[in-house]
């Protein structure tokens, strides 16, 4: 016989069961792929999508919304577009494009999404920052005053770069643009030493962004950085020529975001974009595929804004925000030395100066092949230590006069004595500024060498012996007068006593060097 169940008991049981029920509904804003190909997808739906929002496609492919049109959304794909088909369902993620940041990125090679591509395992990071960030306003910045030593005599003496500056490196292919950038990274190794810390020099963390280069070229750069111990404080962001153009398009923004992580935590960072010509090509390709109207040289109308919003993010923060800095060295490749083309003129107008490399100088053995006449740093002497300002003050003028008179060298003895003296001085200064690759020089050594050149001590030495003179002079300074070099490095200045000592040492060494080379010749 079944027990009787009263209605009020049933009601109580149902009420108890229903009170613990929670309805969970996942709501997604979804769309449908209308068309896909060449790294671009057109999606119907996604009514409330944001500009630059991350979009999730099937098979683990992600994209970013770029074109927000009336009836569809144009997306760029960061992955294999063959895995996406017409009719596939896509979802909004609700977050803008961002990348992982952190100290664990140092020493690694990553793609623009922050994923490691060096085979050294996953990277553990806790923070994410958006790829696109508004550049800080004037009130949050301070003037650029602290030097960023590149270790290259020609740059540190005449075209000084400050921490927080944007200095363009421009020139034809195969003129040594990447070499200057790599030397600048290797030179920052000194900033991570105890000696630099004692002298009040903050360490500089480096980000090298390779855009549209051959993977083998990027591998060579990484190998060179590892060989010189520079990968310990460097991250390489690589979007090689075989990567889709959307990856090449976002690569500089990824590098900049990582640099901002260091800057915003009160540290100094250096980011190199190699190169922005290929970046503009990638953006042009993406824009044309998205059916955006072409302008001059088929670039879209906002190609200036493409680079200005990137380079404006480099800055020296005010002390209230920690005093960190982000220095940018963008690289532009010219065609047959034409700096008046669209992209070169754009980037020249955005940056705080440019280092122009000339094929003629490069082929004649002047390396780095910097044309001093049209290279400039708009920060100028503010980004130099006082010692360098004192010794290099006449350097640019002497070289400019030499370049103007160079055409008359073939007349030889027909020239007056003043002109001959200027040519003699210029030839030796050109030799002093030559430098081998991957051998950055400490700033105190640069000061000691340039001091001898600008004060005329080398005017009577044969031009072909200057290279040997520099090697032997620096060896002598290291062994016998290290105290003077240390004093210049510590005080960042040359006082009267140091100047008198340098005059005496240089004069004595030049006299003994003359005797040495004369005895060898005889």
Q: What are the tens digits of pLDDT across the range 216-275?
A: 999 999 999 999 999 999 999 999 999 999 999 999 999 999 999 999 999 999 999 999
| 3-class DSSP state of 177 | helix
Q: Let me know: does 63 contact 6? Beta carbons within 8 Å.
A: no
Q: Is the CA virtual torsion 445, 447, 452, 458 positive or negative?
A: positive
Rounded distance between C-alpha atoms, residue 505 and residue 476, angstroms? 10
- For residue 242, the tally of other CB atoms under 10 A from its CB is 9
Angle at 261 between CA 355 and CA 52, to 5 degrees: 90
**What residue spans define the domains of the chain?**
27-95, 100-384, 388-519
| 3-class DSSP state of 467 | helix
Name the E strands within 243-359: 268-274, 325-333, 353-357
- pTM equals 0.92
Identify the residue whose tokens are 């977050």. 95
Identify the residue whose tokens are 């770029």. 66
Q: What's the confidence (pLDDT) of residue 23?
A: 65
Residue 93 half-sphere exposure toward CB, CA atoms < 13 A? 18
> Is 378 annotated in the active site?
yes
- For residue 172, the tally of other CB atoms under 10 A from its CB is 18
| 3-class DSSP state of 437 | coil
Rounded distance between C-alpha atoms, residue 522 and residue 511, angstroms? 17
Class of domain 27-95: mainly beta
Exactly one of 378, 394, 396, 468 is catalytic; which is it? 378
Is the N-terminal amide bond of 125 cis, ω within 30° of 0? no
Closest CA to 103 of 252, 267, 254: 267
Rounded distance between C-alpha atoms, residue 509 and residue 176, angstroms? 33
Q: Let me know: does 165 contact 144? Beta carbons within 8 Å.
A: yes
Bridge partners, 300 (sequence order): 294
Fold adopted by 388-519: 1.20.150
Same fold flag, 27-95 and 100-384: no
Angle at 308 between CA 303 and CA 311, to 5 degrees: 130
Rounded distance between C-alpha atoms, residue 368 and residue 182, angstroms? 12
Q: Let me know: does 430 contact 402? Beta carbons within 8 Å.
A: yes
Residue 304 burial class via C-beta count within 10 angstroms: exposed 0-12, middle 13-18, buried 19 and up: middle
Q: What's the confidence (pLDDT) of residue 5?
A: 64
Instruction: Give the chain's radius of gyration (CA, Å).
Output: 29
Average pLDDT, the chain: 93
Residue 508 φ then ψ, to 5°: -65, -40
Residues of the chain with pLDDT below 50 are 1
Q: What share of the chain is helix, strand, coil (3-state, %, to 5)?
A: 45, 20, 35
Long-range contact list for 134-140, CB < 8 A, 24+ apart? Answer: 135/309, 135/312, 135/313, 135/315, 136/313, 136/315, 136/317, 139/318, 140/315, 140/317, 140/318, 140/321
Rounded distance between C-alpha atoms, residue 374 and residue 354, angstroms? 8
At 474, list the tokens. 């620096």
Q: Among 3.20.10.10, 3.30.420.40, 3.40.50.720, 3.40.50.300, name the CATH number for the domain at 100-384.
A: 3.40.50.300
- Bin 325: left if φ > 0, else alpha if -120 < ψ < 50, else beta: beta
Q: State the angle between helix axes of 395-405 and 417-433 in degrees (0 to 180), rounded to the nearest 10.
A: 120
Q: What's the confidence (pLDDT) of residue 417?
A: 86
Q: Is the CA virtual torsion 509, 511, 516, 518 positive or negative?
A: positive
Q: How far is CA 223 from CA 218, 510, 514, in A?
A: 9, 39, 41
DSSP per-residue string spanning 301-325? TTHHHHHHHHHTT--BB-GGGT--E
Q: Are strands 62-68 and 73-78 parallel, antiparallel or unpaired?
A: antiparallel
């Amino acid at each position: 016989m079944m027990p009787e169940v009263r209605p009020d008991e049933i009601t109580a049981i149902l009420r108890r069961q229903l009170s613990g029920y929670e309805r969970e509904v996942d709501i997604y804003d979804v769309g449908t792929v209308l068309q896909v190909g060449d790294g671009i997808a057109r999606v119907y739906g996604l009514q409330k999508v944001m500009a630059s929002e991350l979009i999730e496609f099937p098979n683990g492919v992600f994209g970013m919304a770029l074109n927000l049109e009336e009836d569809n959304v144009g997306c760029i794909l960061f992955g294999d577009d063959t895995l996406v088909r017409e009719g596939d369902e896509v979802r909004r993620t609700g977050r803008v494009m961002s990348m992982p940041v952190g100290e664990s990125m140092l020493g690694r090679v990553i793609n623009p999404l922050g994923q490691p591509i060096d085979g050294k395992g996953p990277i553990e990071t806790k923070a994410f920052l958006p790829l696109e960030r508004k550049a800080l306003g004037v009130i949050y910045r301070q003037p650029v005053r602290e030097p960023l030593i590149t270790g290259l005599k020609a740059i540190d003496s005449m075209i000084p770069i400050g921490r927080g500056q944007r200095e363009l490196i421009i020139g034809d292919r195969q003129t040594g643009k990447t070499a200057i950038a790599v030397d600048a990274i290797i030179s920052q190794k000194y900033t991570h030493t105890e000696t630099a810390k004692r002298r009040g020099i903050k360490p500089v963390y480096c980000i090298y962004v390779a855009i549209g280069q051959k993977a083998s070229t990027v591998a060579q750069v990484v190998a060179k950085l590892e060989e010189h111990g520079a990968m310990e404080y460097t991250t390489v962001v690589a979007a090689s020529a075989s990567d889709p153009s959307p990856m090449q398009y976002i690569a500089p923004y990824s590098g900049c975001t990582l640099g901002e992580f260091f800057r915003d935590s009160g540290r100094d960072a250096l980011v190199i974009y190699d190169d922005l010509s290929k970046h503009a090509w990638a953006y042009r390709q993406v824009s044309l595929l998205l059916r955006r109207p072409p302008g001059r040289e088929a670039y879209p109308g906002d190609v200036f804004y493409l680079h200005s919003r990137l380079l404006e993010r480099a800055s020296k923060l005010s002390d209230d925000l920690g005093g960190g800095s982000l220095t940018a060295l963008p690289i532009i490749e010219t065609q047959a030395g034409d700096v008046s083309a669209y992209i070169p003129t754009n980037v020249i107008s955005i940056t705080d100066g440019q280092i122009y490399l000339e094929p003629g100088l490069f082929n004649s053995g002047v390396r780095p092949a910097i044309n001093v006449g049209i290279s400039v740093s708009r920060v100028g002497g503010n980004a130099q230590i006082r010692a360098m300002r004192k010794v290099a003050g006449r350097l640019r003028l002497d070289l400019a006069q030499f370049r103007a008179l160079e055409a008359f060298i073939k007349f030889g003895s027909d020239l007056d004595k003043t002109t001959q003296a200027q040519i003699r001085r210029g030839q030796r200064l050109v030799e002093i500024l030559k430098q081998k690759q991957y051998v950055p020089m400490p700033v105190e050594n640069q000061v000691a060498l340039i001091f001898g050149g600008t004060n005329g001590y080398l005017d009577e030495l044969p031009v072909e012996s200057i290279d040997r003179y520099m090697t032997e002079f620096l060896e002598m300074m290291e062994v016998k007068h290290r105290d003077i070099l240390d004093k210049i490095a510590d005080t960042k200045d040359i006082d009267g006593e140091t100047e008198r000592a340098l005059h005496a040492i240089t004069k004595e060494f030049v006299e003994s060097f003359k005797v040495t080379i004369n005895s060898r010749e005889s």
